[in-house]
Amino acid sequence: MSDCHSCAGCAVAEAPPALHKNARSHVVAIIGPPNSGKSTLFNRLTGLRQKVANFPGVTVEQRVGKARMQQHHDVVLVDLPGVYSLNPRSEDEQVTRDVLAGTMPGVPKPDALLLILDCTNLGRHLVLAAPILSLKLPTLVILNMADDLKSRGGHVDTAELASELGSPVALISASKGQGVEKVFQFMEGTSAGTSSLAPPRVELPILQDIPRCRQWANDVGTGAAYRAPAPPIWTRRLDSVFLHPIIGPLIFLLVVAGVFQTIFKGAKPLMDGLQSLIQTSGQWIEHVLPASIFRSLLVDGVWSGVGAVIVFLPQILLLFLFIGILEDSGYLARAALIADRTMAKFGLQGKSFIPLISAYACAVPAIMATRTIENKRDRLATILIAPFMTCSARLPVYTLIIAAFIADRPILGHFFGAQAAALLGLYVLGFVAAVMTAKLLKSSILKSERVPFVLEMPPYRWPTLRSLSLRLIDRSKVFLRRAGTVILLVIVVLWVLENLPVKNGRPPEIADSFAGMIGHAVEPVIKPLGFNWKIGIGLVSSIAAREVIVGTLGTIYGKEGTSESVGLRRALQSDLTPGGAVALLVFFAFAMQCMSTIAVVRRETGGWRWPALQFSYMTFLAYLCALIANEVVRSGVFT
Amino acid sequence: MLQTSVNSGTDRTLAQLHEGEAGVLDRLDLPDDIARRLMELGFLPGHIIVPARSAPGGEPRVYRVDGSEVALRRETASHLILRAPKT
């Protein structure tokens, strides 16, 4: 490697690479190891001008954004998944390879690369530079966390590193925005086609051999006068509290209780507010428009569908605010560490804990929160069991049936009666089903190829307002656009089922509607569970959301459709056997009667395969257990 | 290398190190793809590894390796064999 300078010129001459393609925009990909600050940089460069989708056919999320240039057209930025190498072992690595090779459908081959590395850990992160630089694309090597490096007494000579690697090097702090202008300058240069490729002074190592790559990275670091920073003192101090054998778990429980309380109770007034806003505006629309089937479709179909979608927003926003703070501060890794031992018993891991706890409030934000689990199988297992957790939408159904059918005999004095025991039993039932399903999944279709549990412990950092708010906006957009459209559609379809066919220009009685016909049609199937056709209609309507069945039953029986309605309780008592009532509770504990969850699972797993499997499995389990419950109660074991 | 007693014949593993006691990794007794994954995180033969705090109950445990901290379960750590100290 002594004749490098002589061929520097020819490299440039050889490479008027196809940079002047006016036909399409200039594409720059961001690549880096996990925890290198990749997403922070991406957010910094694009701000709100980004969108999220999945790479075709895989669960890997694709983030594409636009960075505004001063002199040129916008640059299209593609954020690639975090990887340590390009050895295609995981989906993430395969996607990264495909994008870089230009073989990923729908993603143009990048014209230039931003390689982002954590410079407080340069030796280890530089390993990725070898395979990336050997692609011979114009690459800016970005050393992130410059502020940390400096404050902890580390050092690196960027000019020296640049000449060693043959690529420009920028020392930046993505979270503080320091040095980001150098990234823009680089992209201005590559869009103009003026960037030149100098061959690296150091020889790039063979890709597959990790020890040699690591040695190479060390040598490169030494050549660039790299001095590793001192250990993060504050992180060690905080860990002595957060991972303390006694105080640690207490803080963990407090945090978990805080998350739970916030999404369960804190979101309630906001959700109620939104609901009444939708209701009031619906009434206003009703008032303004002349009475017609069209008005009913607009108000009871579309408008209430819109309401059904946005009512989730407070929970999603609050949960992601929490998760954002936990993840950005570094505490989430500690929480996962503490929870891991318990979760491992169910074949899961520490990072599944917060999503599963959130699922007690609502499975929708919980499933979106599984994104923090890097291991694909663990993430999928968590998504598949989350809807078994007793969410708040089951409560109105439970309350109604329990109040109607279970006499509140005291069991443990006044505080704990038979009704409370029944409710607790239903919570336990859901939890047991989740645990058993997790075990079943991990020993069958999600049998892991013995992927070890590996959890990196990032240093503690202050979360930034910018990153938190971008995350909230991003999650809301993803939910509204991807899940919202499906939910809206189903609500409208259900309206059609309940309000057609039109009789004498008026909507039919619910028993004569399409929904009623379906209720009658499914009666033979649900009869063994102790359900009649009215419950059948309720089950059909509850696909929109579980609690909808209460209102539907109110309509069918001509009573007030709330869970406290005495009239509705009486009607059910005379129309439903005790066996049927218990079976209904069991059915609701297990069945995936929630189209929002189905829509979110589709969105998060990138297709209909998993939600279809999950829906079938849960419905089958619900049917089977409801059947058993009905038979057991009917046979009089408990009387 | 104070107080590092070595049972002759049986290799010492990462799981057997006490908190704060440094060990040098000799080899990874794991299937190739898993070993690679750990090597990418710094668990490379010849590297010094220091166990740090563990979760309540002793599992999983955080290890300081190659400038960062990575938590492993005991089942994984017990497959990382340490180099016998020269005595």
| pLDDT at residue number A489 | 79
pLDDT band at A194; cut points 50, 70, 90: low
**Do A368 and A478 meet the contact criterion of CB atoms below 8 Å apart?**
yes
pLDDT band at A90; cut points 50, 70, 90: confident
**Do B65 and B84 meet the contact criterion of CB atoms below 8 Å apart?**
no
Q: Which of A16-25, A188-197, A207-216, A338-347 has the lowest mean pLDDT?
A: A16-25
- Select from A456, A443, A319, A255 the least CA-distant residue to A375: A456
| pLDDT at residue number A637 | 65
- Which residue in the set B33, B38, B67 is minimally distant from A123, CB to CB? B67
**Do A43 and A470 meet the contact criterion of CB atoms below 8 Å apart?**
yes
Report the interhelical angle of A313-329 vs A465-478 (nearest 10°).
140
Judged by CB atoms closer than 8 Å, whether chains meet at B37 and A452 is answered as yes
Query: Which residues of chain A does B59 touch, with a Cβ-Cβ cutoff of 8 Å?
Result: 340-341, 344
| pLDDT at residue number A204 | 67
Angstrom distance (rounded) from CA B30 to CA B4 = 24
Mean pLDDT across the stretch A191-220? 76
> Residue A229 CB: number of other CB atoms within 10 A?
20
pLDDT in tens, A412-467: 776 678 888 888 899 899 999 999 999 898 888 777 656 678 888 999 999 989 88
Chain A, nearest residue to B59 by Cα = A341
Q: Which of A365-379, A426-440, A603-617 has the lowest mean pLDDT?
A: A365-379
Residues 6+ apart with CB under 8 A from A545: A308, A393, A593, A594, A595, A596
Mean pLDDT across the stretch A24-53? 86
Mean pLDDT across the stretch A310-327? 84
What does each of the 87 residues of chain B score in pLDDT, given as a tens digit?
344 444 444 789 999 999 999 999 999 999 888 888 899 899 999 999 999 999 988 889 999 998 889 999 999 999 999 998 765
Query: Which residues of chain B does A89 touch, with a Cβ-Cβ cutoff of 8 Å?
Result: 33, 36-37
Judged by CB atoms closer than 8 Å, whether chains meet at B70 and A249 is answered as no
Angstrom distance (rounded) from CA A610 to CA A616 = 10
Judged by CB atoms closer than 8 Å, whether chains meet at B76 and A457 is answered as no
Q: Which DSSP string corresponds to A219-255? A: HHHHHTT-BPPPP-HHHHHHHHHHT-TTHHHHHHHHH
**Range of A95-104, A309-318, A405-414, B7-16 with top mean pLDDT:** A95-104
CB interface of A with B, residues 378-437, below 8 Å: none
B60 upstream amide cis, omega within 30 of 0: yes
Cα A55 to chain centroid distance, Å, stands at: 15
- Select from A159, A145, A170, A173 the least CA-distant residue to A224: A159
Mean pLDDT across the stretch A66-90? 85
User: How far does A390 lie from chain B, in Å, by closest CA?
Assistant: 28
Return the HEC string of A42-106. HHHHHCCCEEEEECCCCCCEEEEEEECCCCCCCEEEEECCCCCCCCCCCHHHHHHHHHHHCCCCC
Q: How far is CA A437 from CA A385, A428, A602, in A?
A: 7, 14, 19
Judged by CB atoms closer than 8 Å, whether chains meet at B38 and A454 is answered as yes
Identify the sign of the CA torsion A377, A383, A384, A385: positive
Best residue in B41, B47, B73, B75 for a mutation probing chain A (most A CBs within 10 Å):
B73
Does position A589 have pLDDT exceeding 90, yes or no? yes
DSSP state of A509: P
Best residue in A156, A207, A337 for a mutation probing chain B (most B CBs within 10 Å):
A337
Does position A618 have pLDDT exceeding 50, yes or no? yes
| pLDDT at residue number A200 | 67
3-class DSSP assignment, residue A184: helix
Mean pLDDT across the stretch A227-248? 92
- Which residue in the set A124, A228, A338 is minimally distant from B56, CB to CB? A338
Cα A443 to chain centroid distance, Å, stands at: 24
Judged by CB atoms closer than 8 Å, whether chains meet at A450 and B76 is answered as no
Interface of B with A (CB under 8 A): 30-31, 33-34, 36-42, 44-46, 52-57, 59-60, 62, 64, 66-73, 75-76
The CB-side HSE value for A539 (13 A sphere, CA atoms) comes to: 27
Angstrom distance (rounded) from CA A134 to CA A16 = 18
Residues 6+ apart with CB under 8 A from B65: B41, B42, B43, B47, B48, B49, B50
Best residue in B26, B53, B63 for a mutation probing chain A (most A CBs within 10 Å):
B53
Best residue in A149, A349, A455 for a mutation probing chain B (most B CBs within 10 Å):
A455
- Select from A92, A67, A89, A91 the least CA-distant residue to A78: A67
pLDDT in tens, A238-291: 999 999 999 999 999 999 888 877 776 777 888 888 888 888 988 898 888 887
Does position A382 have pLDDT exceeding 60, yes or no? yes
* Global ipTM: 0.88
A507 or A362, which is more confident = A362
pLDDT in tens, A98-152: 999 888 888 889 999 999 999 999 989 999 998 899 888 999 999 999 999 999 9
Percent share of chain A, pLDDT over 70: 91
Residues 6+ apart with CB under 8 A from A209: none
Q: Mean pLDDT, chain A, as a whole number? A: 84
| pLDDT at residue number A205 | 67
